[in-house]
A = this chain, B = another copy of it.
Amino acid sequence: MTGKRYVSSTDVARLAGVSQSAVSRTYTEGASVSPTTREKVLAAARALGYRPNFLPQALMSSRSHLVAVAVGGITNPFYASVLEQFATALQEAGQQVVLIQIDNDYALDAVLDRIAGYRVDALVSSLAVLSTETAHALSDLRIPVVCFNGRIRAAWVSCVSMDNLQAGAMAADHLREAGGRRFAFLGGPPDSPASQDRQAGFEHQLQRLRLPKPLVLPGDFSYEAGHAAATRLVAADPRPDAVACVNDLSALGLLDGLRRAGLRSPDDVRLLGYDNIGIAAWSAYELTSFDQNVPEMIRRTLRLILDDNAADEARQGVLETVPARLVIRCTTGRAGAPCLGI
């Protein structure tokens, strides 16, 4: 695993009998090289197995074409899907993805050196939580930072997020229309802005509709938390018959927990989640969910981090919001409707 094994442009130049600059030009879009020289260079390069080294380019231009993507918990199918779409989009834009796996926000400080060290062009964070300190530390790097579903704003730090307040309100509307009378909200981590906003929008809309306050169940985005919440829900008196869950994963857990307890959805409990993960459409679940329009969010994120026209916005830090789209499935369908489920 020792170094010194790659062919350099100098090696190619020597074999081709041209100058090193000629080799460089051959690989530079729109540089002036005669067809003859070009051919000689390419032939030599092929013979030697030459591959241009991007590191010096990055060194000189301070543009590494590396974008750090920080994720926490890609075992959550929603984030896996987001990451996949990001990777595809960034690759198409000629960038490379440096994956930063982070367990909590505070660990981000620890990786700051690395993302700075590789001189990444930008950072995208799927971590909802981002402390003010971290945001400031990132600010100091003076590279565009975009948080997915975050709410924090600082110089160089922007957020692209679903309109969680609106989506919270939509949940209230929809659950009422589906026949709900007694409401509950299965929450996420208390410090998650997405969770806070979905809950706030939900509660606010219930209030506007002059409906009683929801029962709030604690959770943490996980299937297990949802499963555990079922016990509490079943024990509640009066028992809620309509639950908005902060995300699909915990909604699925709740649904399974309710089934264990002998309850059915939508007949006994109307249920919906957020993220519209693939499993929500599985025939065992058919869960109603809010779709985040991830492609649009990614488009906006890429604009902020790669588009020179957006440089000013990126430097200031902006908040962008994308409307949610309700995907109605069986768990909020008519009771006894032809939603087979399981």
Q: State the A residues within 8 Å of B (CB).
A: 1-6, 49, 51-56, 58-59, 61-64, 66, 69, 73-75, 77, 80-81, 83-84, 87-88, 91, 96-101, 111-114, 116-119, 121, 140-142, 144, 223, 227, 252-253, 256-257, 259-260, 278-279, 282-285, 306, 308, 311, 314, 340, 342
Question: Which of B58, B98, B278, B282 is close to A98, meaning CB atoms less than 8 Å apart?
Answer: B98
Whether the pair B77, A75 counts as a contact (CB closer than 8 A) is yes
Question: Which of B58, B121, B260, B340 is close to A342, meaning CB atoms less than 8 Å apart?
Answer: B260
Whether the pair A1, B96 counts as a contact (CB closer than 8 A) is no
Whether the pair A284, B311 counts as a contact (CB closer than 8 A) is no
Whether the pair B63, A1 counts as a contact (CB closer than 8 A) is yes
Closest 10 CB pairs of A and B: A3-B62, A87-B101, A51-B116, A54-B117, A80-B80, A97-B99, A99-B99, A256-B283, A259-B342, A55-B59
How many copies the complex holds: the figure is: 2
Since A75-B80, A223-B278 are in contact, a sample of 12 more A-B pairs with Cβ atoms closer than 8 Å, ordered by chain A residue number, is A1-B306, A3-B61, A6-B116, A49-B140, A53-B119, A54-B117, A56-B59, A74-B80, A91-B111, A98-B99, A252-B284, A253-B282
Q: In the complex, which residues of chain B have a beta carbon less than 8 angstroms from the beta carbon of A342? A: 256, 259-260, 284, 342
Complex Cα–Cα for A5 and B121 (A)? 12
Complex Cα–Cα for A2 and B278 (A)? 40
Q: In the complex, which residues of chain B have a beta carbon less than 8 angstroms from the beta carbon of A74? A: 74, 80, 83-84
Whether the pair A58, B61 counts as a contact (CB closer than 8 A) is no
Whether the pair A282, B223 counts as a contact (CB closer than 8 A) is yes
Q: In the complex, which residues of chain B have a beta carbon less than 8 angstroms from the beta carbon of A112? A: 51
Whether the pair A1, B283 counts as a contact (CB closer than 8 A) is no
Give chain B nearest CB distance to A114 CB in angstroms: 6
Question: Which of B2, B62, B100, B227 is close to A4, meaning CB atoms less than 8 Å apart?
Answer: B62
Complex Cα–Cα for A58 and B61 (A)? 16
Complex Cα–Cα for A232 and B31 (A)? 60
Q: In the complex, which residues of chain B have a beta carbon less than 8 angstroms from the beta carbon of A87? A: 99-101
| CB closest chain-B residue, reference A92 | B101
Give chain B nearest CB distance to A141 CB in angstroms: 8
Question: Which of B49, B96, B227 is close to A283, meaning CB atoms less than 8 Å apart?
Answer: B227
Whether the pair A118, B55 counts as a contact (CB closer than 8 A) is yes
Whether the pair B98, A96 counts as a contact (CB closer than 8 A) is yes
Which of A73, A113, A342 is packed against the most chain B CB atoms within 10 Å? A342
Between-chain CB contacts (< 8 Å), 18 pairs:
A1-B63, A1-B306, A55-B118, A66-B118, A74-B84, A75-B84, A77-B77, A80-B80, A84-B101, A91-B111, A97-B100, A252-B284, A256-B342, A257-B283, A259-B283, A259-B284, A284-B285, A284-B342
Give chain B nearest CB distance to A316 CB in angstroms: 14
Q: In the complex, which residues of chain B have a beta carbon less than 8 angstroms from the beta carbon of A140? A: 49
| CB closest chain-B residue, reference A277 | B75
Give chain B nearest CB distance to A309 CB in angstroms: 10
Whether the pair B99, A118 counts as a contact (CB closer than 8 A) is no
Give chain B nearest CB distance to A252 CB in angstroms: 8
Question: Which of B55, B59, B118 is close to A119, meaning CB atoms less than 8 Å apart?
Answer: B55
Q: In the complex, which residues of chain B have a beta carbon less than 8 angstroms from the beta carbon of A118? A: 54-55, 66, 96
